[in-house]
Amino acid sequence: MTVVKLDSEGRCRLPAEALEALGVAPGDNLLLEVSDGKVVLSPPPPALVPAPGAGLRSAINLKNLETPVRFIKGVGPKLAELLAKKGITTIEDALYHLPARYEDRRSFRRLAELRPGSVEVFHAEVRSAGAVVSKGGRSLFEVTVADDSGTVVLKWFHCNPRYMKGVWRTGRRGIFTGEIVRYGARLEVHHPEVDWLAEGSDLASVMADDPVNFGRAVPVYPLTEGLQQKALRKVLKEVVDGFTPAVETLLPRAVLERQSLMPLAEALAGVHFPDDGADMELLNRRATNAHRTLAFDEFFFLQLGLALKRRGNSLEEGIPFAITHKYTRLLLKALPFPLTAAQKRVLTEIRQDLAAPHPMHRLVQGDVGSGKTVVALLSALLAVENDCQVAIMAPTELLAEQHYLTIHRYCEELGIPVRLLTAGVKGKERTATLAAIASGEVPIVVGTHAVIQDKVEFSRLGLGIIDEQHRFGVLQRGTMKKKGSNPHILVMTATPIPRTLALTVFGDLSLSVIDELPPGRSPVATRVCFEAQRAQVYQLIRDEVKAGRQAYIVYPLVEESEKSELRAATRMAEQLDAEIFPDLRVGLLHGRLKPEQKEAVMRSFKSGEMDILVATTVIEVGIDVPNATVMVVEHAERFGLSQLHQLRGRVGRGTGRSRCILLAGARLSDEGERRLRVMEETCDGFRIAEADLELRGPGDFLGTRQAGLPDFRVASILRDGRIMEDARQEAFELVERDPLLLGGEHAPLREELMRRWGGRLELAGVA
């Protein structure tokens, strides 16, 4: 029996086997009615007939793409399990598991023509094989292969010598693949791949008999342990040949022509198994038109969702604020410094948004020390002036507590109650806080994601402020909105975010940049140091303290664990106090202290009662001590560049010359040192962010792989930034022309958009 479920609009998709059982041809239109408890199928009236068979054909195609990969010829339970480890469970998953690189197996180089530094494919004969011991006493297995032009040495550093001796027999011929390395006068390949030639066979017949693995530009796929290239290529050849016809091109014809794109099915086939004349350099740079087509298609649907979301936001009815300056003028008078021109410009943009009849959705981006907290507080006071509540959400309890300490200090003078709501607020205090929020008694609530949990109810939420937005996802932003009646949303980040990443994660937001530091800030001289220079670093601290200045020493852990060699803040604070600086005043600040303890430590350091503050990254944001002129970061290689930039921003806040010392661990790699040298070269947050993004990739750059960062199967925001710009322009222009996507060829875009991005972008109420 075939069970068919209706969707929310009363529609259903009939599987191909059900159509066959009913004697109905794909492409026929049917009207499904229930009469006297029976299901009756009949032709629909003419007004209901869509384009002949289009919807049904799409449904069958989609069902084909959803077919489990275990039904592919040659895929047994064991191979299916290995494929699942690489995220391949359906035909569609397999089609989008793209090659990591390509090998040119259209012809083979003679050994004399092999190029050091390149991955080469060559044909040769085994001349000698056996276990050897290197000059350093290391055991390895070494094979010499040759052709009529020269010899190459193959090496394995981890293997079973007895097994290898049985396989690598003298006189045996094979096709070898590997990276060519030059050592002195000879060429070597370490751990090569091999395809053995049967005895008596020639090279031409081997290539002709196996066209998937030879005689072409051969795809090399990402693997998992136990999964072999040949097996995966065979499966993907079956999938590409049998199922690419089910892949539909949904982008409008005009977009395809303007952007010179291929049909999607053709692009997938071309990426997996390129034509004979394919350019190897373009293939390995993923710069072919087939690669561009797939990346554009992926970016287009993301940007289409963001365009709809932005348009939906602009059409929603919001809370227009009247600008009365009841509290903002008083705060400006109380501030010990004037606003910068950049802060004033951003506040004007925010005020214009808040006065509009639809909700604000704005991202404020500003470098360390640019004054975002003041901008957020002034924005919050505009909401309070309009009898609305404000929720300020930070990603960690530490950051939430620091915001609370800053904000409540100013608001206390204005007579505005502020409450803190984090997981650490428990019992009667939590119950009282929730009641005060629900009654409207508390206008400003500062907290972690606890402020958007189900039990938290607001009386009249008018503004949500989300700090360090990249640590949260789009869904948290949506949840914040649901806490009120379309409240204004302001998101902030001190992490300079490169344009391509901003357009991906925050593409539905208006952008403001605070691109000016307050006057009096001095550049921070940065230097990478190693363990051998520790005594000099300590002397620098002592000299600065002697001159009346203060210093920070930051560690990556609070307490040492047995598994970690990192210096820990707690133990090092004790050692520094007792052994290194017994004559100086050393304090300790970390995340496990209670809020009141942290506040006491920070107040003590700021007032000059401490010379050195030993801390974890709790000081990354929020502390402003102009007298602190030295920042020493231990195990600096363990931090991201953007985080180091944040830490460095804790000094250089006064007129005195400031320094940041990045103390690297003993096992610093070449890449690790290259990363740290970027900090020596520039204080420009955006340049550092670009370098961090290139070195670490988007997921690590943002701290975690979370809902805020889209999962791309094909596209790369690092490599394909220009393609994304083109896709964004096309998507936004399309939504401008057809806001509801009701035009003839636009309708299928809605359905595909919901399938790909509906849940991730919270599009249910938009698309």
Q: What is the pLDDT of residue 698?
A: 65
pLDDT greater than 80 at residue 511:
yes
Tell whether 65 is covered by a domain. Answer: no
Tell whether 629 is covered by a domain. Answer: yes
Q: What is the pLDDT of residue 52?
A: 42
Report the alpha-carbon distance of residue 587 to residue 577 in Å, rounded. Answer: 8
pLDDT greater than 80 at residue 666:
no
Higher pLDDT, 760 or 503: 503
Asked if 132 and 181 sit in the same domain, the reply is yes
Q: Give the confidence band of 50 by pLDDT, cuts at 50, 70, 90.
A: very low
Tell whether 767 is covered by a domain. Answer: no
Asked if 498 and 557 sit in the same domain, the reply is no
- CB within 8 Å of 600: residues ≥ 6 apart: none
Q: Give the confidence band of 513 by pLDDT, cuts at 50, 70, 90.
A: confident
Q: The domain spanning residue 181 has which CATH number?
A: 2.40.50.140
Tell whether 1 is covered by a domain. Answer: no
pLDDT greater than 70 at residue 343:
yes
Which of 14-18, 163-167, 368-372 is predicted least confidently? 14-18
Q: What is the pLDDT of residue 706?
A: 44
Higher pLDDT, 682 or 505: 682
pLDDT greater than 60 at residue 565:
no
Token pair listed for 73: 């010829």
- CB within 8 Å of 84: residues ≥ 6 apart: none
Domain boundary among 514, 544, 570: 514
Token pair listed for 543: 């000299």
Asked if 268 and 404 sit in the same domain, the reply is no
Burial class for 251, CB neighbours closer than 10 Å (0-12, 13-18, 19+): buried
Q: Give the confidence band of 760 by pLDDT, cuts at 50, 70, 90.
A: low
pLDDT greater than 60 at residue 404:
yes
Q: What is the pLDDT of residue 476?
A: 73
751: closest CA among 50, 195, 40? Answer: 50
Q: Give the confidence band of 331 by pLDDT, cuts at 50, 70, 90.
A: very high
154: closest CA among 185, 116, 195, 187? Answer: 187
Report the alpha-carbon distance of residue 269 to residue 601 in Å, rounded. Answer: 63
Token pair listed for 471: 């640590």
Which of 23-37, 244-258, 481-495, 497-511 is predicted least confidently? 23-37
Encoded amino acid at 534, one letter: R
Chain-centre distance for alpha carbon 4: 38
Domain boundary among 682, 697, 723: 682
Q: What is the pLDDT of residue 708?
A: 52
Q: What is the pLDDT of residue 623?
A: 63
Tell whether 253 is covered by a domain. Answer: yes
Encoded amino acid at 109, one letter: R
Q: What is the pLDDT of residue 49?
A: 35
Domain boundary among 464, 483, 514: 514
Tell whether 292 is covered by a domain. Answer: no
Asked if 477 and 538 sit in the same domain, the reply is no
Asked if 203 and 241 sit in the same domain, the reply is no
Are 434 and 454 in contact by the 8 Å Cβ rule? The answer is: no
Tell whether 687 is covered by a domain. Answer: no
pLDDT greater than 80 at residue 295:
yes
In the 8-state DSSP scheme, what is residue 261?
P
- CB within 8 Å of 533: residues ≥ 6 apart: none
Q: What is the pLDDT of residue 603?
A: 83
Asked if 492 and 605 sit in the same domain, the reply is no
167: closest CA among 124, 140, 127, 129? Answer: 129
690-741: per-residue pLDDT in tens? 787 777 666 566 554 444 556 788 988 878 888 999 999 999 999 999 988 8
Q: With left for phi above 0 and alpha for psi between -120 and 50, is residue 523 left, alpha or beta?
A: beta
Report the alpha-carbon distance of residue 606 to residue 150 in Å, rounded. Answer: 72
Asked if 534 and 642 sit in the same domain, the reply is yes
Q: What is the pLDDT of residue 564?
A: 54
Asked if 531 and 500 sit in the same domain, the reply is no
Tell whether 713 is covered by a domain. Answer: no
Q: Give the confidence band of 469 by pLDDT, cuts at 50, 70, 90.
A: low
H/E segment holding residue 453:
none
Asked if 94 and 48 sit in the same domain, the reply is no
441-458: per-residue pLDDT in tens? 999 999 988 898 888 999
Are 380 and 386 in contact by the 8 Å Cβ rule? The answer is: no
256: closest CA among 654, 607, 697, 730? Answer: 730
Token pair listed for 722: 């220009």
Asked if 497 and 549 sit in the same domain, the reply is no
Asked if 448 and 358 sit in the same domain, the reply is yes
Burial class for 450, CB neighbours closer than 10 Å (0-12, 13-18, 19+): buried
Q: What is the pLDDT of residue 3?
A: 55
pLDDT greater than 70 at residue 471:
no
Token pair listed for 671: 């890449």
Are 459 and 417 in contact by the 8 Å Cβ rule? The answer is: no
Q: What is the pLDDT of residue 172?
A: 94
Q: Give the confidence band of 46 by pLDDT, cuts at 50, 70, 90.
A: very low
Higher pLDDT, 727 or 316: 727
138: closest CA among 159, 112, 166? Answer: 159
The residue assigned the tokens 């698309």 is 767
Q: The domain spanning residue 354 has which CATH number?
A: 3.40.50.300
* Residue 371 CA neighbour count, 13 Å, CB half: 25
pLDDT greater than 80 at residue 381:
yes
Q: What is the mean pLDDT of residues 529-553?
A: 94
Q: What is the pLDDT of residue 504?
A: 76
Asked if 190 and 270 sit in the same domain, the reply is no
The residue assigned the tokens 């990603």 is 395
673-684: per-residue pLDDT in tens? 888 999 999 888
Q: Give the confidence band of 58 by pLDDT, cuts at 50, 70, 90.
A: confident
Q: What percent of the chain has pLDDT over 90?
A: 45
Q: What is the pLDDT of residue 767?
A: 43
| C-alpha gyration radius of the chain | 32
Q: What is the pLDDT of residue 464?
A: 94
339: closest CA among 381, 366, 362, 371? Answer: 371
- Look up the pTM and report it: 0.66
Number of domains in the chain: 5
Report the alpha-carbon distance of residue 363 to residue 469 in Å, rounded. Answer: 9
710: closest CA among 475, 390, 540, 435? Answer: 475
Q: What is the pLDDT of residue 47?
A: 32
Token pair listed for 654: 């006064």
Cα–Cα distances (Å) from 489 to 340, 377, 401, 509, 570, in that order, read 23, 14, 21, 10, 39
Residue 447's DSSP bridge partners are 393, 421
Q: What is the mean pLDDT of residues 736-765?
A: 79
68: closest CA among 51, 80, 58, 56? Answer: 80
Higher pLDDT, 728 or 672: 728
Task: Give the structural domain span for 348.
Answer: 328-514
Averaging pLDDT over each range in 207-211, 359-363, 629-633, which range is the top one? 629-633
Report the alpha-carbon distance of residue 622 to residue 735 in Å, rounded. Answer: 41
